[in-house]
Structure formats: structure tokens, C-alpha cells
Chains A and B, each alone.
Chain A
Amino acid sequence: MKKLTLIISLLVIATMLLTACQPAAPATEQPQAPEQPTEQPKPEEPTPQQPAAEKPAEPMPAAGAAINKEACQGANLKFLTIQPHNVAAQNLQTWFQEASGAQVELIVVPYDNVIEKAVLDVTSGANEIDVVEYWYPGLGTLVENNVLENLDQWYADNASWIKADDFFPTYFDTFTKIGDSRYGIPYDGDMHLLWYYKPLFEKYSLQPPKTWDEYLNACKTITEGEKGNAYGCAIMGAKIPLILIGTYLNRLGSYGGSFFDAQGKPTINSPEAVAALEGLVEQSKYALPTASAVAFDEALGGWFTGKVGMVEFWTDLGSMTNDPASSKIGGQWGVVPLPKGPGDKGKVVASVNAGFAIGVSTGSKNKACAMEFVKFVADPETAKRYNTVVGGIDPARQSTLEDPKFIEFVGKEVADAIREAHKNAVVWPTSALWFKLQEPLNDNLSLALSGQKTPQQALDDTQKAWEDLLK
């Protein structure tokens, strides 16, 4: 026993010495306060690194026409994408292979794993991935961990055709910019709208809700009237940050609350924030059972079978719903902006939950070809192509939204709703600290939703956790 104690003690001492002798790590950057959700950022002034918006654009190259095939000769490009975008990625794979001659291999991961996969690929030295499709709140984390190539020079080199001002202002800076540099191009412009199932609304003589009070009333009326055959609303409250925080942000923004104030100080337990969570908890009582276990699949399962009156979902739901292969309710839906919050501070917002961008991994062994791939995806003509097939991608460019083929594909009602939503967009923070901050929020929202904490208590605890993390 004594020997064992001695061995363990020696081992601990050796480890401490080993640790202490490690080369000093580079000085850590002072953590910056995360950016607060902002409302529709204004298009910024052109900078030398950024294409000048007012410059007359050169003739647009046809899709793939500008691809430098020499850069891709013999290249085997690995594209990290998420499972819900698999179909779109397969299309890009085929099209880019045709255009460049490169081989493209897809690495498909669950949507909530994409950031860690990209970070681990570079930090572990595996360097398998060339092109990364990233969830934009992870941008700061990716940049802090040196996972993404700086694309300032790439933007300057491609300024003649890229039409940066064509990207929705809501997305362009938020999805791609940290500090003064850009690290990606907007790919999937995801924001939430409120979708409703017309037959259930007609049955109960309901109008699409304009306020969260009307939403609660409609949800309650349908749920109580249907007695388990259908539910007034599906609320995605599964304990996954992208899902649960997205659902909460739909209410937080419209109640006039925010994650942080203008100085970057947490305001997550403000009266508006608490009221928003109280509203969510109350609504969840009448939602498809049970909100805290409902993620994409469960919400879509209820929606496609006509068992759900309303669902907050992304703008591609219309085309998915009209696909008879997956849905029974094609053509029987309507879409409106998210409801307005109560009181003076109440407003209509569209939360940018789950937008995605594309960047080049610093560990890429095919950087030149990876840059060509980014160019291909950024091409406005290619964007029109991948936005007019069922693949989970929503427009990141204004020209895509105004394209007659796209309007025909999604329907005028959806195109109008998207256009309207951009006027009131709220986005997630993208600082390097956000991935640490979102965990206590996610935990506490789930605790409130499952009745283990009151909304006030849950948000007070989140506020304290955030203040500690930001110290």
C-alpha cells in the first residue's frame, strides 16, 4: 500500500513538473464581451478588403465558368457539411466536380457537432477537412482556434463579380466577419417564420396570430378542441442550443429583450427576458407533447402529418411541405412573420437561428482548390441553383430571393415573408466566448421548460453564470 502511495505521488509530481515545463502558451486574448443580438445591421462602408458595392460589376460568370481548373487538378476535396444540408451538399459535390475536375468527398456530421469537428480537425493535426460549412455563432470560436483561413485577400481578388452588397446585410457581416477580417461567405440564410396549417385554423375560425397572446389563444383552442388528435402548436424545446435558444430568441427579441446591452453587459434576466420565458413556458403547456423533447424531427413529424396547427420554422419549410414524398399537407399551409411581443417594447422580429457560412480550413491540404470551391458556392448563379432544389438552403443573396425561378419554387407568400422578415432580423452573438455562454443558458432554459426552475430563477442563474464567465 505504501509502495502504491509512493508511486502515485511520484506520478503526480512528474505530471506537475511536465506541465510546468511546457513552453509558455501564447498570451491569451482578453475576452471580449459578446456582441449583442443586433437588429438588421446596416450595410457597411466599403473598405480596401471589401469589394466596393458601387463599382459596376463585371459580366457575371456562368456557374463554374470562372473556376480555375488547374488549381483543382488531381485534388480530392473534403467538404464538412451538416446532415440537414446533405442533399444540397451532394448537389454542390456533383456540380463542382463537373466544373473543376476535382473529386469532392462529403463529411456529413450532425448539425450540433460541426464546430467541434472543425476545431478538432485542426487542433489535433488531423487536417482532413478542406472546406467547412459552419454555424455562424461558432465563427468566433473557429477564428480564435485558428481553424478558418482569412479571406480578405480572396474577397479583394474576386471583388469584380462577387457583388458583396447582394448578400443580405443581416447575414454578410454576422456570418463572416470578426474584427476587421472576413473568414467565410454566407451560404444558408436561415431565419424563423411562423407556419400554420390552414384546415385546423379554418375548423376553429382562427386567424394567423399577430401577437404572442393570439398565438397562445390559437394554440390552446386547437389543442383543447382536438383532444389529443392534433395540437395547436409545436414548440422546439429539446435541450440543444441551436434548437432551444433559437425558440427562446424568437420570444426574447419580440418582447424587447436582448442577451446583452450596448456595453456588452448581460441582460438576460431583464423583465422583458423573464416575461418572454414565462410566455414560452405557458405556451408549451398546450404544445405537441412535450416541448422539452421536441427537436427538428419531432416537430416536422407532427407538421407533415397535419397534427400541428403552428410551428416556428425556417424558410425552406414550404418547399419541404409541398413535397408529397415527405408530407401529407402540401398546399394547405400559410406563413406569417413571428408574432409581436406585448407592451411598448413589443415588436415583430425574425430570429436568424441556424444560418450557415462556408470557409476554408487552415489545415487544408488543397487550399487553392478549396478557394475555388468557395468561389463556386459564392457565385450568384450557383446560389440560384442550390436554392431552387429541396436541400434545406435558404437565400443568403438578395438576387436569389428576387429570382423568378426561386419565387416560383417557394411560392410568392414565402418570398414576401422572407423579404419582410429581413427588416426585423435579430442575430445570435458570434464572439469566441459564446459557446461557453450558451451552455448555462441552454441548461437553464431547459430547467424552466421542464418545471424544475421558475423562469425568473432560471434567468437569474444564467445572468450570474454569464457574469462569472465574463469576469
Chain B
Amino acid sequence: MNGSLEKYTPKLMVLPTFLILLIISLVPLIYVLGISFTASTIAKPFNDFVWFENYKKAFTDEIFGHSLVNTLLFAFIVTTIQTFLGFVLAFTMQRERTLSGVLRTLALLPLFTPPVAIAMIWRLIYDPNQGLLNYYLLNWGLSSTPIAFLGERTLAFPAIMLADIWQWTPFCFLLCLAALQSLPRDPYEAAMVDGASAWYVFRRLTLPMVAPQIIVIFLFRFLIALKVFDLIYMLTFGGPGNATQVASFYIYRVSFKQFQTGYGGALSILVLILISILATLLTKGREFLLSKVER
């Protein structure tokens, strides 16, 4: 009796957490999966079973395809730049003791600011007529006419990326700083005794030791970036044309502007599958890189 109690106690203790996770993640997922096989509208869930029609439609939906490409492009570019900048900032500031508190607080500001406020700030900065950026571009003679950063199809996406980089680089900075400060001191002391150069120490010690954490930071940030919505909604609404259309915003439009929740559900499932594949690939990539580093 005691033996079986001992055997089941850990499982029973985990049960509440398991149930909560089940309710908040699996139930909505099953619901979305369910409606994705129907011609549901917002007021008529589970309306008309259509099997895979929504999925077929998604594969021929040019805007959805375009929005997926944009999403991947966006996530890859901003994550790469943010991780790089975050690491550089963390590396240069890791030894700073006197100003470290102030710097960390400053770094946290963009993270604490509501995304809508951030979008408004950047909208004002980019404004062609009264914006800060155009003011300097015109006054310094860098441009003869105001530039509508959010209205030009070639500039709108980079402009949104810049706002995202400003918002999320501190996140990478803080995680990189924590990773760097957690490294053991012994190898550095040994390298100093051996007279190793700074570049050699960085290349042979710091980088290999911190690489696993950097890859995890990249992975986290990449997965978050795939869900970008707020900046698109506030700055361009997916325009001009479909230049800044991303998957989450398109799904929102289909589900809550056209009220086609069945089709929106199918698109969501497809995006989920894509993200799962990417996450698996990145995890495998991380393991591969780690094995290289360890060698």
C-alpha cells in the first residue's frame, strides 16, 4: 500500500498543473482544429462540415503565402540583428559595475512600454511631415523631400523591423548579459597566466562557452518574432498593398474582419505546424552546433 502510494504521489502532485495546462492550451487547440474543418463564421461555430476545403483554399491563397514569407523574413532578420546587438552590448558592458544598475533599468524601458505606445512613438518618428526622422533628414540635407517610411512599399517593412529591433534588443541584451556573467572565471584566469590575447580568449573561451545560451536566446526570440502583430496593426495595417502583411495579421483579418473563423482556424493550424517544424529544426540545429562546440 505504502509502495503504491509512493509510486503515485508524484503523479498526483503534478496532476493539477497538468489539468490546468490541458485546459488552457489543449482545449483551445482542439477547438481551433475542429472549426478548421468547417465553414464556421463567428456567430455559427461548427457550421457545415467541409473536411479539408479550408486547407485546400489556404494552399491557393496568394496573400497567405505572401504573408508567410514575410513572417519568416521578418522573424529571421530581426532576431539575427537583435541577438547580435544584444550580445555586443552585453559583452561590452559585462565588466561595468558602477553604471550596470542604470544601464539595466534603461534597457528594460522598451520592454516595459506597452507595444501600442511603442508603435505610436515610431509612427510619430516616421511621420513624413512632422516626424523627427524627416526633420533631421531634411535639415542635414540627406533628403530633399520628406520620406513616407510607412507609405513606401520598399521602406515600410524595414521601418517596422527597426521599431521591433528597438523594442526587443534589450531583451536579448539582458539574457546575453546573464549568460556572460554566469561563465566560470577559472578558464579566464588560466588564459591570463598563459598570456592569451583578448581576441584569442574571446574566440576560444567566451564564444564556445556562451554559444548554447545564445542559441537558446535566438530560438526564443525567433519564436516570439513569428507572432508579430501589434506593430503591423498600429503602423501599416499590412500595407501599402500587402508589403507588410504577416501571417498573424492576415489570420486576424480573416477571422475578425471577415468573420470566417473556420478558414481562420485552418490558417492558424497551418502556421502552428510551420512553427513546430521550424522549432524542431532549430532545436536540432542547436544540438548539432553544440556537438561541434564541444568537440
Contacts and interface: CB of A to CB of B under 8 A. Distances in A.
Contact-size category for B? 35 or more
B257 A289 contact: no
A28 B44 contact: yes
B265 to A, nearest CB: 11
B37 A439 contact: no
Contact of A447 (B44, B48, B145, B242): B242
Contact of B38 (A19, A292, A301): A19
Contact of B129 (A22, A238, A239, A307): A307
Contact of A301 (B130, B138, B147, B151): B130
Given A435-B257, A450-B153, A238 B239 contact: yes
A244 to B, nearest CB: 9
Given A239-B238, A449-B240, A19 B257 contact: no
A122 B42 CA distance: 10
Interface in B228-267: 236-243, 253, 256-260
Nearest to B159: A293
Interface in B31-75: 33-35, 37-38, 41-44, 46-49, 63
Interface in A16-36: 16, 18-20, 22, 25-26, 28
Given A289-B148, A290-B148, A293-B151, A436 B129 contact: no
Given A239-B238, A292-B240, A446-B240, A22 B46 contact: yes
Contacts of A449: 240-241
Contact-size category for A? 35 or more
B257 A15 contact: no
Contacts, number: 132
A294 interface: yes
A327 interface: no
A443 B240 contact: no
A183 to B, nearest CB: 15
A11 interface: yes
Contacts of A119: 42-43, 259
A198 B50 CA distance: 60
B69 to A, nearest CB: 15
Contacts of A439: 253, 257-258
Interface stretch (A59-67, A139-147, A161-169, A249-257): A139-147
Contacts of B146: 228, 289
B102 to A, nearest CB: 35
A437 to B, nearest CB: 9
B237 A239 contact: yes
B37 A19 contact: yes
B150 interface: yes
Interface in B1-48: 30, 33-35, 37-38, 41-44, 46-48
A292 B239 contact: yes
B250 to A, nearest CB: 10
The residue among B37, B42, B146, B237 with the most chain A CB atoms within 10 A of its own CB is B237
A146 B43 contact: yes
Nearest to A294: B151
A18 B30 contact: yes
Given A116-B256, A119-B259, A451-B153, A446 B239 contact: yes
Nearest to B47: A25
Given A25-B46, A28-B48, A292-B151, A443 B30 contact: no
B96 interface: no
Contacts of A148: none
A298 B127 contact: yes
B115 interface: no
B260 to A, nearest CB: 7
B242 A443 contact: yes
A20 B43 CA distance: 18
Please classify the interface of chain B as helix (H, G, I), strand (E, B), loop, or mixed, using the class held by over half of its residues. Answer: loop
A277 to B, nearest CB: 14
Contacts of B153: 450-452
Contacts of A290: 128, 148, 151-152, 240
B139 interface: no
Contacts of B49: 19-20
Contact of B148 (A15, A18, A293, A446): A293
A425 to B, nearest CB: 26
Interface in B149-207: 150-153, 156
A206 interface: no
Contacts of B144: 228
Contact of B34 (A18, A228, A443): A18
Contacts of A447: 241-242
Nearest to A453: B241
A301 B43 CA distance: 39
A283 to B, nearest CB: 15
A19 B260 CA distance: 17
B47 A12 contact: no
Given A120-B42, A294-B151, A305-B130, 12 more contacts: A19-B34, A22-B34, A25-B46, A123-B42, A240-B237, A292-B148, A292-B240, A302-B129, A436-B259, A439-B253, A439-B257, A449-B240
Interface of A: 11-12, 14-16, 18-20, 22, 25-26, 28, 116, 119-120, 122-123, 141, 144-146, 228, 238-240, 288-294, 298, 301-302, 305, 307, 435-436, 439, 443, 446-447, 449-453
14 contacts: A15-B34, A19-B37, A19-B49, A20-B49, A22-B46, A28-B44, A116-B259, A240-B237, A289-B129, A439-B258, A446-B241, A450-B153, A450-B239, A452-B153
Interface of B: 30, 33-35, 37-38, 41-44, 46-49, 63, 127-130, 138, 144-148, 150-153, 156, 236-243, 253, 256-260
